[in-house]
Amino acid sequence: MTDIPDIADADQPERLSLQLPDEAATAALARALASALQPGIAIHLSGDLGAGKTAFTRALLRALGHTGRARSPTFTLLEPYNLSNFDLYHFDFYRLSSERAWLDAGFDEYLDGRGVVVIEWPEMAGDTLPAPDLRLRIDFDPDAGDDARRVELLARGARGRACLNAIRDAGFCAPGPGPEPAPR
Ligand SMILES: Nc1ncnc2c1ncn2[C@@H]1O[C@H](COP(=O)(O)OP(=O)(O)OP(=O)(O)O)[C@@H](O)[C@H]1O
Ligand SMILES: [Mg+2]
* CATH assignment of the domain containing 162: 3.40.50.300
The parts of the chain modelled with pLDDT lower than 50 are none
pTM of the prediction?
0.92
Domain that holds residue 75: 16-169
Distances (CA, A) of 107 to 80, 114, 126: 11, 13, 15
Beta strands in the chain (DSSP E): 14-20, 42-46, 78-82, 87-92, 116-120, 134-140, 149-155
Compute the distance from residue 126 Cα to the ligand 1 centre, in Å.
23
Which residues, other chains included, contact 55 with Cβ-Cβ below 8 Å and sequence gap of 6+? Answer: 23, 26, 27
Count of domains forming the chain: 1
Considering the domain boundaries, does residue 177 fall inside one?
no
Burial of 92 (0-12, 13-18, 19+ CB in 10 A): buried
User: Residue 12: its pLDDT value, please?
Assistant: 82
User: Residue 178: its pLDDT value, please?
Assistant: 59
Considering the domain boundaries, does residue 117 fall inside one?
yes
Considering the domain boundaries, does residue 8 fall inside one?
no
Q: Which residue has its alpha carbon closest to ligand 1 atom 29?
A: 50
Whether 57 is in the pocket of ligand 1, judged by its Cβ within 6 Å, is no
Site to probe by mutation for ligand 1, drawn from 29, 124, 147 as the one with most ligand atoms within 8 Å of Cβ, is 147
Whether 164 is in the pocket of ligand 1, judged by its Cβ within 6 Å, is no
Compute the distance from residue 138 Cα to the ligand 2 centre, in Å.
11
Considering the domain boundaries, does residue 103 fall inside one?
yes
Considering the domain boundaries, does residue 72 fall inside one?
yes
Whether 49 is in the pocket of ligand 1, judged by its Cβ within 6 Å, is yes
Please give the single-letter amino acid code of residue 88. L
Whether 126 is in the pocket of ligand 1, judged by its Cβ within 6 Å, is no
Whether 55 is in the pocket of ligand 1, judged by its Cβ within 6 Å, is yes
Considering the domain boundaries, does residue 129 fall inside one?
yes
User: What are phi and psi for residue 163, nearest 5 degrees?
Assistant: -65, -45
Residues 142, 69: Cα–Cα separation, whole Å: 30
Whether 123 is in the pocket of ligand 1, judged by its Cβ within 6 Å, is no
